[in-house]
Chain A
Amino acid sequence: MSGIDQKNDSKLLGQVLAFVGLLAFSMAENGLGYFPSLYGSVPKLSFTMLFVLCFYHPAIMPLISVFLVGVVHDLSQANPIGYTSALMVMAHCWIMFRRPMLMQTESGSIWYEFTIMMLAMMLFMLTVIVAFTGNLPALQPLLFQFSLTVLMFPMMNWMYHLIMGFAAILEQVR
C-alpha cells in the first residue's frame, strides 16, 4: 500500500514539475523576441518541449496541465484566450495517438512526425489569424518560425537525453 502511495506521490511530483517547467519554458520563450532577428517569429520551443515530455513521459503531462499552460501563456500575451490552449490540446492529442506507433521507430521518424505536427499547428494558426482579423498576414515570419522550430527539434531532443542521462548518473551515485 505504501509502495502505491509512494508511486502516486512521485507521479504527482512529476506532473507538478512538468507543469511548472513547461510554463516557465513557454514564458521564457517570448524572451527570445528581444533578439531582433527572432522578433515576430520566435521558435515555438514550448511545443518542442511538450512533444518531448508527452512522448517520453506521457503520465506526467496530463491534458489539464497542457490546457492550463496554454491559458496562462495567452494571458501573458495579447493572444485571444484559448488560442495557445487549442494548439497545445491539438498537439497533445496528436502525440498521444501517434505515440504507440512512433515508439517502435527511429529518431528520424520522430523528427518527421514533429515536422508534420508543426505544419498542422501552423496551418491552424494561420486559419485562426485569418478568421480573427479578416486579413492574410505576411507568410514569411510564419514560415521562418516553423522552419526554426523544426530545425531546433533535434537539439532539444538531444538536450533532453543529456539531462536524463545526467539525472540517471546522479541517481546511481546516490
Chain B
Amino acid sequence: MARGPVNRKRSRKSNSFTTHAMLFVFCLLLMMVGKADIAVMHSVRSILTGLTVPVADVASVPFRAVHSMLDSMVSVANLRQENVRLKEDIENLKQWRRRAEILQSENRQLRSVSGVIIPDATTPVSARVVAVNADSFAHSVMVNVGERSGIREGNAVTTTDGLVGLVVDVGPKHAQILLITDINAMVPVILASSSWPAITVGMNSKRMDLRFLPTEASVSVGDLIQTSGHGGVLPPGIPVGRIEKIQSNAISVRPVADLQRLSFVTILTMDRDPGYSVDAIEEQRFQPLPVDDSGFSLEGLNALGQRTSSDVTAEEGDQ
C-alpha cells in the first residue's frame, strides 16, 4: 500500500516520457515529409506561411525601428566624412561611365556582328523585406510580394550592389528568398577578370566558399565574382561577391550585397521565354579570357577592356 503513490508517480513519469517521445518522433516525421517535397504539403505550407507573414511583419516592427534609428544616428555622425568620399566616388564614377559608354557601344556593335542574344527579358519588381530568418539553420528572408506581382520560383533577387539570392517559395502575397550565404545555396559564377567558371557555396555564415574553380585559374584577393548564367536560373553578369581570403584548400568570398542590412530588394522576373538556350550562349562566353595584357580577347581590346597599343598607335598615326 505504501508503494502505491510512488508507483503512480513512476507510471505518470513514464507516460509523460512516452508522450514526449511520440511527439518528438512526429516532429521528425514532419521534417521528413517536408523534405520529401510533396506537392500537397508544399501548398499547405505556402498557405499557412502566408497567414504568419503579417504577424512576423508586425513582430519585427520595433526591431526595424530601432535598427533604422541606430543607422540614422551613425549616418549623421559620418555625414561629413561620407560627403567627401561620395564626391570622390562621383568623380570616379563619371570617368567609369564615360569608359562604360564607349565599351557598351563597341560591345553592341560586336554583338550585332556575332549574333549573340542579350538576355534582357527580365522586369524588376521592388519588394520590402518583412521577415528575416537569422537562425543558424537557414539564411532567408520573406518579402511582401508574391505571385500576384508576377514573382515565380527561381527568380533572381538583387540589390543595387549585387545578387542577394533567389526565390524558393511563392505565395499570393509573399515570397521566400534563399540568400546566397545559405548552406543550400549554390550559385554558378565566373571570375569577372578572367571568366573562369566556379560555384559559390553558402556556409550559413557571412562568407561563401568558392568551389570547382579550375586549378589553372589564377585568383587574387579582391577579384569580382559574377553570375555565369549557367543552368538558366540566374541571369549572367550579376555581381555576387569579392574574393576575401585565399587558402590552400578554400577560397572565401564576401557577398557584394550587404545581406545583414536588407530592407528593400529587387526581384528580376522573367517577362517571357527568352527564346534561347542559355547554356549554348554560355558555352560561347566561357572561353576564359587571358589575364595577361598582351593577349587579345577581342580585336582592338585587351582583357581589361582597354584599347591595345597597336590600335592607339594606328589612330594617332591617322590623326
Contacts and interface: CB of A to CB of B under 8 A. Distances in A.
B contact patch SS: helix
B67 A35 contact: yes
Contacts of A128: 31, 137
A152 to B, nearest CB: 16
A40 B205 contact: yes
Contacts of B139: 40
Contacts of A92: 20
Interface in B267-288: none
B27 A27 contact: no
Interface stretch (B57-65, B153-161, B215-223, B230-238): B57-65
Contacts of A63: 19-20, 23
B213 interface: no
A35 B142 CA distance: 16
Interface string A131-157: 011010110111001000000000000
A85 B138 contact: no
Contacts of A135: 183, 201, 203
Interface stretch (A7-15, A75-83, A104-112): A75-83
A142 B63 CA distance: 22
Contact of A39 (B28, B34, B259): B259
Contacts of B168: 78
A117 B64 CA distance: 31
A119 interface: no
**Max chain B Cβ within 10 angstroms of own Cβ: one of A40, A72, A86, A132:** A40
Contacts of B51: 75
A53 interface: no
A5 B26 CA distance: 33
A85 B184 CA distance: 22
A81 B140 contact: no
**Max chain B Cβ within 10 angstroms of own Cβ: one of A63, A76, A142:** A76
A27 B204 contact: no
B109 interface: no
A97 interface: yes
Interface string B20-38: 1101101111110011000
B133 interface: yes
Interface of B: 13, 16-17, 19-21, 23-24, 26-31, 34-35, 45, 48-49, 51-53, 55-56, 59-60, 62-64, 66-67, 131-140, 142, 168-169, 176, 178, 181, 183-184, 201, 203-207, 259-261
Given A31-B60, A93-B24, 5 more contacts: A33-B133, A34-B66, A81-B30, A82-B26, A86-B31
